[in-house]
């Protein structure tokens, strides 16, 4: 296994030259590490690191993941693409970190469903590959998953007994309004030939 570079930046940098700038602002759980690792191995590095004077502005989880992958013996490139961010001082640079880490747009269940359906992304693949803190994928699948109709489950078997004959009339819960008292009454074979209920005289 090896990591491939699939993007370009304004320069390149080795992982050991990158200084983490975020501290413990965000945690990377074991399950999210596995998801990010899978994404990197599947799609490669698709976004450059963003730096300010060697300090990492954006890409902390990717950096943590790559360093852990290196410990596991996975082959990494010597240099990674990077983009240098302009900031007048450290305080401004850290504000940029917060700005990038903030989420201004809100993803709804409906928008996620519509987007995933646009390229046939299965629920299982989303759960295994991505981390959306706002969504419980088990509930999400129950709500938006399409029920699979069992072929032939509504078919009437040829061996079914015949319970009607030509000319039979069936009354399936029909209701009429009584011509006299104006109340609804259930239609049965006994009163089907009159338009008044059983209480009112016909």
Domain ranges of the chain: 11-101, 109-144, 169-202
Q: What is the pTM of this model?
A: 0.57
> Residue 114 half-sphere exposure, CB side, CA atoms within 13 Å?
5
Please tell me the predicted confidence (pLDDT) of residue 148.
41
User: What sign for the dihedral angle of Cα 32, 33, 36, 42?
Assistant: negative
CA 98 to chain centre: 26
Report whether 103 contacts 69 (CB < 8 A). no
Please tell me the predicted confidence (pLDDT) of residue 98.
80
Residue 152: its H or E element: none
Rg value, the chain, Cα: 33
Which ranges of 2-136 does DSSP label H, i.e. alpha helix?
Answer: 30-43, 60-71, 90-101, 109-117, 123-129
Burial label for 11, CB within 10 Å (0-12, 13-18, 19+), is middle
Closest CA to 174 of 160, 161, 164, 189: 189
pLDDT in tens, 107-147: 676 776 777 676 676 766 666 666 655 556 666 666 666 54
User: pLDDT truncated to tens, each residue of the chain (202 aa)?
Assistant: 899 999 999 999 999 999 988 766 677 889 889 989 999 999 999 999 999 999 998 899 999 999 999 999 999 999 999 999 999 998 898 888 888 876 566 667 677 677 767 667 676 666 666 665 555 666 666 666 654 444 455 555 666 666 666 666 555 555 666 777 877 766 654 455 566 677 777 6
Burial label for 56, CB within 10 Å (0-12, 13-18, 19+), is buried
């Amino acid at each position: 296994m090896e990591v491939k570079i699939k993007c370009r930046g304004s320069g390149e940098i080795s992982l050991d030259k990158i200084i983490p700038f975020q501290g413990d602002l965000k945690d990377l759980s074991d399950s999210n590490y596995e998801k990010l690792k899978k994404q990197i191995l599947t799609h490669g590095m698709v976004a450059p690191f963003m730096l300010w004077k060697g300090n990492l502005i954006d890409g902390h989880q990717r950096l943590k993941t790559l360093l852990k992958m290196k410990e596991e013996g996975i082959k990494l490139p010597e240099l990674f693409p990077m983009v240098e961010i302009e900031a007048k001082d450290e305080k401004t640079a850290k504000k940029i970190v917060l700005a990038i880490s903030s989420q201004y747009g809100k993803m709804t269940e409906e928008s996620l469903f519509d987007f995933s359906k646009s390229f046939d992304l299965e629920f299982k693949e989303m759960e295994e590959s991505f981390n959306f803190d706002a969504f419980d994928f088990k509930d999400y699948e129950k709500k938006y998953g399409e029920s699979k109709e069992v072929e032939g489950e509504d078919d009437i078997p040829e061996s079914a007994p015949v319970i009607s004959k030509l000319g039979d009339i069936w009354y399936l819960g029909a209701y009429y309004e009584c011509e006299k008292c104006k109340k609804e009454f259930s239609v049965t074979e006994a009163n089907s030939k009159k338009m008044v209920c059983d209480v009112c005289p016909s």
